[in-house]
Structure 1
Amino acid sequence: MTTYNRQLMHNGAKAVRRNAISTLLKNVFGIERLRDGQRRVIDGVLDGLDTLAIMPTGSGKSLCYQIPARIFPGTTVVVSPLISLMKDQLERLIELGIGATQVNSSLTREEENDALEGISSGRYRIVFCTPERLATPEFVATFKPVEVSLVVIDEAHCISKWGHDFRPAYLDLSASIDALGHPPVLALTATATDDVVKDIGKQLGRPKINVINTGIYRPNLHYRVVQATNHDEKYQKALALVQQTGGVGIVYAATVKVAEEMYAILEEAGESVTIYHGKLPAAERKDHQDMFMDGERRVMVATNAFGMGIDKSDTRFVIHLQVPANLEAYYQESGRAGRDGQDAECILLYLQDDKRVQQFFLAKHYPHAAELRALYEAVKELAASGPVPFGRICEVDEDVAASKVKVCLKLLKEGKLLRQNRALDYAPTTARPTQETFDKLADVYSLKQERDREALEQMVAYAVSGFCRWKVLLDYFGDEVEGFQKCCRCDNCLNPPVLLDAIEIRDDEFDKEPEEQPAGPVFEPGAQVRVPKYDVGTVESSAGDEITIAFPDGERRTFMAGFVMPA
């Protein structure tokens, strides 16, 4: 066959695909055309490519798997972190006449048995499940009689240890996907830095995953920061913002205590408000979420337990009472506003002391070398009679949380000290580890702690910045928007602050007199500096709070001083 004839056949197949997609869009989904980003993702998936799609909130990520699921002959498995998110998407698919089901802890035994039977018989095109469920050999075995054409991982940043919402349950996905016959993967997220992108590929065992990044810029979101000098002032400013801003909105707090205090203030003021946090009973959380989603309450006060996958498109404002841990989390949470494309307000109330709350959360207990060694020795002993299931390993020390055991097992697998078979059981390899081996594995999470601290500093730099808020976000994510200089809609664009000589205040120096405060770092031309995303470079010039740096790759980039540290 000539090259010309092969090209004709290829073009013909593309034309058939385009027609099939067009028909599905109009007849099933009621949509006239795909956006460019959606088209690129769907084409990659239909070409059989493992794909990571980074698309902003409200850009139609769900269509990127729903259309291939209708075109592929087999079953599409969608891994989702939240049952409420599955429920919303499942109801939508059933309304469209697409065969779909869910398997999670919300089902009765009868409902679950019916779902499992339907999966084995090929009754469903799309199956939703949690990462915890997909990690069980029994559930994976349900798919043996059918072909799994695609595995979708929603909120894929959760799989990365560098991601802002890392969940250990995602660590078993690679082995589970292999056990399903190694089908193509579509990973979906709204945000991912370069480090997170690389780690997602690594954790999935697909280091060359095809990355499609449509950018984060959403011009309908108007960002601003409101400074507060004490907690009472912050609550009063939050109350005023809620009263002055029309439409429905979300008020986020970092702690349950602050959420409950803000809820009480709004309720006493006569606002239509409800509350959501992890300490409420599950049934109460659901009732409160339903009241907000159904329009029975105008305002939702919540911790970050509320929000992932929440799709209330007419949300007109998102207010943060406390600074989040990093800019990824802030973008994700603030991005729940304005999904309908209409203007929306994203407001951060910044009190310097709130940084301490996030510092407390960052002091997590990551695996130590001694714990890794103890777990390895335990698995080695248990494996004397054959591979060891995860549940049996958890019984070794009931004081250690199952989530932490998962992290330890993943590290031991990455260090080639353990292997996992298709039944998802564990066994030691022939490696002969030394203490240095375990020390190096534990260092991975020491590095994560350091990066968490740097990410918090960058979040604070955003809060005190005098530059365009969107410019700060775009620079952080390395996102370049053609012709973009400033958004002209954020607080700093509308009312440029007066530039003052900046000083850097360390946490242990809050109580010092002003004359005792040390001056912030001065970066002279020629100085070696470090920017977390781009590593080490050389200062070329500085103007006010902007520093231009030359990097070894030959590129010159300009950053705010808050993002730059001495090398």
Structure 2
Amino acid sequence: MLAPYDLVTVLKANFGHSNFRHNQEEIIRAIMNGENVIAKLPTGGGKSLLYQLPAVLLQKTVVVGPLRALSHDQVNYLTSRNIEARFWDSDQTLEEASSVLSAFKSSKVKILFASPEKLCSQEFVQTMQGVPLDLLVIDEAHLVEEWGNAFRPKYLLMKTIATLLSPKRVLCLSATITPEVTEILKLSFNVRDEFIFKMPLVRRNLVLRCIQTSHETKKEDIFQAVVSNLKKNSPFAGDGVIYCLFRKDTEELATYLTLYSGNQFQCRSFHAGMTTAERLDTEKWFKESSNGVYKVIVATVAFGLGIDKPDVRFVIHATIAQSPERYSQEIGRAGRDGVQSICQTFYCSDDVGLVSSLILSYQVPTKDLTDLVSKLLQVPKVLTPVPCDEKDTFIIQWVLVQLANKGMITFKGFKNKDLSNYDHTPAVIALTAQDKAQVAEEISSRYNELYENRAKSASLMEDFFQQPTCWWQQLLKYFEETCDPCGACGACVGELINRRHLKPVSQDTYDRCLKFVMMEKYKEVFSATGGEFVMGVQFLFGNETVRFKFQELCANKMRDIKKAAKKKGAKTATLPIPFASKSDVEEFFGCLRGTGFTASKVLTDIKTKTGKPPRSRFMYYH
């Protein structure tokens, strides 16, 4: 065991600091004593030092992280401190990659950074077979339970990889680990309760605000907010990040802001659809000094974890975040240097339900899931490469990872979305039909549980900025933490969202709409019109419908709507309409939320009256 002064001496000699922050020393001491550790620290709370310092004293440390840019920053920093660190990625030639692994294996390199995909490769596992690994670090560990469009399949395999590599100790790091994920990490990596460290998530230097806008004026309102933040005497003058849900939105908004920015600021977009070179160039541009010209980057969640820039003064959400975890991570890009910064969310009534509708699209009937698991367990393999959309790809990948963690399959990856690139283990051959049915049930139940959790998280964010309780208190409550009112957020200063367009929904309207949902003749209808003439039954989660052009729809006759849709290749269905008037429709679809008729009540009532849960992805013409 190292004496207390020894760690401080190492800290000063290698990193130039005289003292540890918060409980850094306690965590590092636990790691050096060979303990597996979970550490939840807020963004900017000094997580990196928790593995950097032990790595100086140990021989071999592997750090797995989700984003290349952040890992490259770490390598550059450590190298500048004369600490041998390398990054191993897919852009390296075979010779370069082999050289990096050889140097690490011989302890010439003390810290190796890699993506979860590279860490799970056969090349790495075979190279490290029998080589003592002192420390395995899983950065952004909350991603072991990430879901939907941010899903990283190989993160779910970290438990399996840890078993293969047999590290002497494991460190799980994140700023936003929920109690549920903490329990998963605890069981996966055998972490004792006394070595689960938590720092309060609240960051008093971040001012949380929400601005009401409309679909027509949102871009202009965001532009005005940026200009206001950058005023000469503004405390928030500095570089900023704007988050959008979709790639096309980042490009459109960046183009708009650039058009009207003049010489006030520079602006670029950033999303996962860009080439690696384009993303690296944009990241470099954003981090570099620009002689007093402020920079604004308009990004999707692809940028959420990847920016290590201390002086971001404002973060703007063009729409509400997808979950409290995402919101915490994304606002965490601001004010990492401790200086006051502002986090603004633009609330548009047209966007209410958008996040939940994205989650709704991932709902899968239990039978479909169990059938998929059964097919994947058939020997010999029956799944062949087929073109899949993003959601179906995610579902199949997620199921494959569950089977891999159960020791039933091995797979090399999902190159070009080839979902058949897996092999059965001997364990599958020994399974009886009853065993396979049980496995299918377990995996299906877990998927549905995760789906429900994500739906609740999305619903919570849609209500978040209407609540009079301090928004920091609300956010911490989700993570089972507490804090005093911040005194600066929208709730604390009385700037709540006023949903004037809402009226309480009547019991009669609710009953008629519930009957409508339960109609046996309801059919799934998919349209190539992008939602112009079609809308989903999103009110199962109590949401307004986003892509429903109501006024345009009412201005046409049903016959004309069908004719227009048919020209665009859409299928049609004639269904009864339970609404007595246009006002009933507006009342139900616009006002269900916040009235007591919650998602839970709707789902429960449907199940009670039909004996089975409602179907998913219903679409219909009005």
Task: Give unpaired runs (5+ residues) of structure 1.
Answer: 1-12, 383-392, 524-528, 531-567
The 2-side partners of 1:39 and 1:110 are apart by: 39
Kept in 2: contact 1:249–1:300 (CA 8 A): yes
Moved more, 154-163 or 125-134: 154-163
AA matched with 2:32? L
Offset of residue 522 of structure 1: 6.1
AA matched with 1:239? F
Matches within 5 A, 1:328-367: 328-362=325-359, 363-364=361-362
Matches within 5 A, 1:14-163: 16-72=2-58, 74-144=59-129, 146-160=131-145
Q: For the structure 1 residues 418 and 240, does the alpha-carbon distance in structure 2 shift closer, same or farther, using more than 3 Å as the test? A: same
2:179 is matched with 194
Offset of residue 399 of structure 1: 4.1
The 2-side partners of 1:56 and 1:331 are apart by: 9
TM, length-normalised to structure 1: 0.79
2:486 is matched with 487
Matches within 5 A, 1:29-428: 29-72=15-58, 74-144=59-129, 146-160=131-145, 165-204=150-189, 210-228=195-213, 230-245=214-229, 246-269=237-260, 270=262, 271-296=265-290, 298-362=295-359, 363-364=361-362, 368-377=369-378, 380-381=379-380, 396-399=384-387, 404-412=395-403, 418=408, 426-428=425-427
1:455 is matched with 457
The 1-side partners of 2:272 and 2:592 are apart by: 41
Kept in 2: contact 1:274–1:300 (CA 8 A): yes
Kept in 1: contact 2:38–2:171 (CA 8 A): yes
The 2-side partners of 1:471 and 1:62 are apart by: 27
Q: For the structure 1 residues 497 and 322, does the alpha-carbon distance in structure 2 shift closer, same or farther, using more than 3 Å as the test? A: closer
Q: What do the CA deviations read for 1:186-234 (whole angstroms, capped 9, x no partner)?
A: 0000101111212233444658683111110110000001111x22322
1:347 match: secondary structure: strand
AA matched with 1:329? R
Kept in 2: contact 1:224–1:469 (CA 8 A): no
Kept in 2: contact 1:75–1:146 (CA 8 A): no
The 1-side partners of 2:42 and 2:129 are apart by: 35
AA matched with 2:350? D
The 2-side partners of 1:490 and 1:55 are apart by: 22
Offset of residue 283 of structure 1: 1.3
The 1-side partners of 2:404 and 2:497 are apart by: 54
2:308 match: secondary structure: coil
1:381 match: secondary structure: coil
Q: For the structure 1 residues 310 and 417, does the alpha-carbon distance in structure 2 shift closer, same or farther, using more than 3 Å as the test? A: closer
AA matched with 1:261? E
1:36 match: secondary structure: coil
Q: For the structure 1 residues 125 and 504, does the alpha-carbon distance in structure 2 shift closer, same or farther, using more than 3 Å as the test? A: farther
The 2-side partners of 1:140 and 1:515 are apart by: 58
Offset of residue 398 of structure 1: 4.9
The 1-side partners of 2:51 and 2:285 are apart by: 29
Q: For the structure 1 residues 446 and 518, does the alpha-carbon distance in structure 2 shift closer, same or farther, using more than 3 Å as the test? A: closer
2:325 match: secondary structure: helix
Which structure: greater strand fraction?
A: 1
Offset of residue 19 of structure 1: 2.3
Kept in 2: contact 1:468–1:493 (CA 8 A): yes
Q: For the structure 1 residues 51 and 467, does the alpha-carbon distance in structure 2 shift closer, same or farther, using more than 3 Å as the test? A: same
2:543 is matched with 507
Q: For the structure 1 residues 463 and 433, does the alpha-carbon distance in structure 2 shift closer, same or farther, using more than 3 Å as the test? A: farther
AA matched with 1:409? L
Q: What do the CA deviations read for 1:396-439 (whole angstroms, capped 9, x no partner)?
A: 4354688655522333356x572779xx9833253324335413
Name the Cα RMSD after superposition. 3.1
Q: For the structure 1 residues 252 and 498, does the alpha-carbon distance in structure 2 shift closer, same or farther, using more than 3 Å as the test? A: closer
Q: For the structure 1 residues 301 and 66, does the alpha-carbon distance in structure 2 shift closer, same or farther, using more than 3 Å as the test? A: same
Kept in 1: contact 2:313–2:342 (CA 8 A): yes
Q: What do the CA deviations read for 1:304-358 (whole angstroms, capped 9, x no partner)?
A: 1113131110000000001111111011101100000000000000112223432
Task: Give unpaired runs (5+ residues) of structure 2.
Answer: 230-236, 412-422, 506-541, 551-581, 602-622
The 1-side partners of 2:442 and 2:98 are apart by: 45
The 1-side partners of 2:274 and 2:587 are apart by: 47
AA matched with 1:113? S
Kept in 2: contact 1:50–1:184 (CA 8 A): yes
The 2-side partners of 1:426 and 1:145 are apart by: 22
Q: For the structure 1 residues 425 and 95, does the alpha-carbon distance in structure 2 shift closer, same or farther, using more than 3 Å as the test? A: farther
Offset of residue 446 of structure 1: 1.6
Moved more, 285-294 or 59-68: 285-294
Q: For the structure 1 residues 106 and 17, does the alpha-carbon distance in structure 2 shift closer, same or farther, using more than 3 Å as the test? A: farther
Moved more, 429-438 or 322-331: 429-438
Q: For the structure 1 residues 262 and 399, does the alpha-carbon distance in structure 2 shift closer, same or farther, using more than 3 Å as the test? A: closer
Q: What do the CA deviations read for 1:447-505 (whole angstroms, capped 9, x no partner)?
A: 22222111111001112222222121122221123xx2x11111222236599998667
Kept in 1: contact 2:210–2:496 (CA 8 A): no
The 1-side partners of 2:63 and 2:438 are apart by: 39
2:18 match: secondary structure: coil
Kept in 2: contact 1:158–1:164 (CA 8 A): no
AA matched with 2:486? C
Moved more, 427-436 or 247-256: 427-436
Percentage of matched positions with identical amino acids = 30
The 2-side partners of 1:167 and 1:519 are apart by: 32
Kept in 2: contact 1:162–1:199 (CA 8 A): no
Kept in 2: contact 1:120–1:144 (CA 8 A): no
The 2-side partners of 1:189 and 1:460 are apart by: 24
The 2-side partners of 1:204 and 1:504 are apart by: 49
Q: For the structure 1 residues 64 and 265, does the alpha-carbon distance in structure 2 shift closer, same or farther, using more than 3 Å as the test? A: same
Q: For the structure 1 residues 512 and 89, does the alpha-carbon distance in structure 2 shift closer, same or farther, using more than 3 Å as the test? A: farther
